[in-house]
Amino acid sequence: MENENKNSILIVDDEVLNLKMLRSVLHDEYTVYTAKDGQSAIEIATANKPDLILLDIIMPEMDGYEVLAILKSNVITRHIPIIFITGLDSKTEEEKGLSMDAADYISKPFSPGIVNLRVRNQIQLVNQIRTIEQLSNLDQLTQIPNRRSLDQQLFSEWGRSMREKIPLSLLMIDVDKFKKYNDTYGHLQGDKVLKMVAKTVVTTLHRAGDFAARFGGEEFCVLLPGSDIEGAVLVAEQIRAAIQSMVIHCEDGSGSKITVSIGAHSLVPAGLADTIPDLIDKADSALYAAKEAGRNCVRKYTA
């Protein structure tokens, strides 16, 4: 079984000897896929999303330029860097490939050292970009997804709910009387509370598709794809009870308690009548109703 922590590479060449040679150079350090023609390459790239593609230019039926154009037009594969591998010795061909957004060239006959270096350079860049993207989607205090990440997930799940006609539920969670808690125990203790709430929310969720994020301040959101309002309220009650049962230790050895109020809304998106902001607003209205009802409770949206 391949190491899941390895970066992955797709090698595309119609010559079996070239495939074997490149695979032998790279397989110890990377997960390697191979394809002998353009159509297979497109299918493997779409299914597996490799971190890098080594693509031969001269192939029968569909050459490397055609494959590159198709990969770059596909939203799933357009950001995968592609290194051309070629026996052509032409500046014009090199310029053409680079103008089509190829990342680099490797010339035949292969030098294992050059192959390793050029591949390593591209993989390092891929990993750096991935790290930056992950950090930009992470709330630095609580280490769970932030509002930007929530917006992206909402957009994705909204589209899926519309296509499959399945419900999408949203929980809005607010720490009760958080300002008073901060004033009483200090901001460092308040930060500790937010971290504990975030961890508790995440660990209370059990389905792979459920998604928790910090909305801002002392507010958190939970996205529950495929869950109707009854299921959403059940999850909300589990979160509320788990947080109520927490004991938050203070520096003086004493313990403090906090509670949360939660608003829930669920819908099956249907055309222009429903919008993502409307889902958020209605979950927020339900949260306000929970606050009005005395806090430490769950309320679902009612028109």
- Residues annotated as part of the active site: 218
The CA radius of gyration of the chain, in Å to the nearest whole number, is 26
- The per-type count for the chain, helices as H runs and strands as E runs, is 10, 12
Residue partners of 229: CB distance under 8 A and separation at least 6: 167, 169, 264, 265, 266, 300
Question: Which CA distances in Å does 53 have to 48, 111, 115, 222?
Answer: 11, 18, 12, 36
Q: Are 249 and 195 in contact (CB under 8 A)?
A: no
Residue partners of 286: CB distance under 8 A and separation at least 6: 172, 263, 264, 265, 299, 300, 301, 302
Q: Are 115 and 25 in contact (CB under 8 A)?
A: yes
